[in-house]
């Protein structure tokens, strides 16, 4: 029985980054990652496998940085953990002893068992599996009619990509009034829905799948609650992900109401020497302090770095407590992004807020080539003026501008500070310094607070 100081179950972003960071910090310790499939995928790159990339091969992600750092990798499946003896058994009949155990088992797509026909051939998912997605790309290439269920980020991105093939009819069905309504406020999702439709996607909001239709066990279409029927050879269900917490449950770790493994700010579970990180571990909202179910590679890697430094004792204090969700996506050339609280989440959590907003073009002067309209909204706590959230849409620069807001939230920057925030501006790159949208939105929030 081989013994490792650290065994990590799972080779996604959180497993790899925990391994790389931990091994670099503790070069004398032995590290093993056990993962089920040889090849891995960049998770957020998966939607782009269906059009912009030539297939999964262009979206591969492996544990090379971990191996380069001196870690070992085994392709196998952990089937049993004995926490008293600190051992684990694999499907391949291997047994290991661990010093510290990291559970980084990720998440799996939710299966819509509540929809009749969910088990037909041709009902597919956006699984984080190289071989599965490889095959799915081959299937979508052949399909003429595709229905995507769920207008969250994954559903929207997959539909937008598939709709780039002009010979396909791609429909997107969302039960809410708008796509992406969990991440953005009404005026932003209105814009997003328009952009989605412009991208050649047949959008059905405020609608549900009543039944997935089939013949000879194969999908032929869907029937909507509105009564309309849509043809489809493939139905992709993108209705969310569930933490893979089975192994954790089996050893009696505490699990929260979202099925995620409970852990503290340093990713320690309720049992000694066992950690959980990434999609399978619980997240606590940065602003609300409540249990949340954010599953993003970006937040997972932030947690993984904290864990990597602190596996053998807290060396690096966690400065930003809680998980701040920072979302961004590009739909048909328009970028949408949000960070922290939005109006409805603030309202839901009974957080007092004011909104500051500003719209302008993202270059200056406005006559210059290649401009986009940039809308920025800040959600501000009126008592202290602290920024607790932000939303925006615009051109590509939004991808990093949202990270300015993200840092501002994490560092509890106030709108009063933002007024004297010193920025870099350039005609070809940003708005004018006289109209930098974060500052203008901050000024609007101040004027509301002053009233």
CB of 54 to a copy of itself, least distance (A): 8
DSSP-derived letter for residue 284 is: E
CB of 441 to a copy of itself, least distance (A): 13
Q: Give the three-class secondary structure for 253.
A: coil
CB of 399 to a copy of itself, least distance (A): 3
Strand-pairing partners, residue 327, are 338
Comparing CB distances to a copy of itself, the nearer of 34 and 41 is 41
d(C-alpha 74, C-alpha 95), whole Å:
12
Comparing CB distances to a copy of itself, the nearer of 220 and 325 is 325
- Contact between 356 and 388 (Cβ < 8 Å): no
Tokens of 12: 């996604």
CB of 353 to a copy of itself, least distance (A): 20
CB of 375 to a copy of itself, least distance (A): 15
Q: Give the three-class secondary structure for 211.
A: strand
Omega before 365 cis (within 30°)? yes
Q: Give the three-class secondary structure for 376.
A: strand
- Contact between 173 and 147 (Cβ < 8 Å): yes
Comparing CB distances to a copy of itself, the nearer of 306 and 445 is 306
Comparing CB distances to a copy of itself, the nearer of 45 and 176 is 45
d(C-alpha 115, C-alpha 223), whole Å:
11
CB of 98 to a copy of itself, least distance (A): 24
Comparing CB distances to a copy of itself, the nearer of 140 and 328 is 328
Comparing CB distances to a copy of itself, the nearer of 211 and 330 is 330
CB neighbour burial string for 421-438, b if at least 16 within 10 angstroms, e if fewer: eeeeeeeeebbeeebbbb
CB of 408 to a copy of itself, least distance (A): 6
Q: How many CA atoms lie within 13 A of 159 on its CB side?
A: 33
DSSP-derived letter for residue 262 is: P
Comparing CB distances to a copy of itself, the nearer of 175 and 316 is 316
């Amino acid at each position: 029985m081989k013994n490792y100081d650290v065994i990590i179950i799972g080779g996604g972003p959180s497993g790899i980054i925990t391994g790389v960071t931990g091994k670099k910090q503790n070069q004398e310790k032995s590290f093993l990652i056990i993962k089920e499939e040889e090849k891995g995928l960049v998770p957020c790159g998966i939607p782009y496998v269906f059009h912009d990339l030539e297939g999964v091969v262009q979206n591969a992600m492996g544990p090379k940085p971990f191996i380069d750092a001196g870690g070992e990798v085994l392709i196998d499946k952990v089937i049993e953990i004995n926490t008293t003896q600190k051992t684990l058994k694999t499907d391949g009949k291997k047994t290991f002893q661990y010093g510290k155990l990291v559970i980084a088992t990720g998440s799996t797509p939710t299966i819509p068992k509540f929809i009749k026909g969910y088990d037909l051939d041709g009902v597919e998912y956006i699984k984080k599996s190289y071989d599965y997605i490889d095959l799915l790309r081959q299937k979508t290439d052949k399909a003429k009619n595709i229905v995507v269920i769920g207008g969250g980020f994954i559903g929207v991105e997959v539909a937008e990509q598939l709709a780039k093939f002009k010979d396909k009819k791609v429909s997107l069905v969302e039960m809410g009034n708008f796509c992406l309504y969990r991440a953005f406020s009404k005026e932003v999702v209105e814009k997003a829905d328009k952009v989605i439709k412009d991208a050649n996607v047949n959008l059905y909001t405020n609608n549900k799948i009543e039944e997935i239709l089939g013949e000879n066990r194969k999908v032929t279409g869907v029937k909507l609650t509105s009564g309309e029927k849509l043809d489809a050879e493939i139905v992709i269900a993108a209705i969310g992900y569930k933490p893979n917490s089975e192994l954790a449950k089996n050893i009696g770790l505490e699990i929260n109401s979202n099925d995620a493994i409970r852990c503290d700010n340093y990713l320690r579970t309720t049992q000694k020497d066992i950690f959980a990180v990434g999609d399978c571990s619980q997240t606590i909202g940065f602003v609300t302090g409540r249990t949340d179910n954010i599953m993003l590679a970006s937040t997972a890697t932030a947690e993984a770095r904290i864990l990597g430094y602190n596996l053998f004792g807290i060396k690096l204090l966690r400065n930003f407590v809680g998980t701040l969700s920072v979302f961004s996506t590009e739909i048909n050339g328009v970028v949408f992004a949000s960070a922290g609280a939005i109006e409805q989440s603030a309202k839901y959590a009974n957080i007092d807020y004011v909104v500051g907003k500003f719209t302008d073009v993202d270059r200056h002067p406005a006559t210059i080539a290649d401009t986009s309209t940039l809308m920025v909204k800040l959600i501000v706590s009126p008592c202290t003026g602290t920024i607790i959230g932000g939303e925006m849409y615009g051109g590509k620069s939004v991808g990093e501008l949202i990270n300015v807001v993200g840092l501002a939230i994490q560092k509890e920057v106030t709108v009063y500070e933002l007024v004297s925030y010193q920025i870099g501006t350039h005609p070809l790159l940003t708005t004018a310094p006289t109209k930098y949208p974060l500052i203008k939105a901050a000024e609007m929030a101040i004027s509301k607070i002053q009233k």
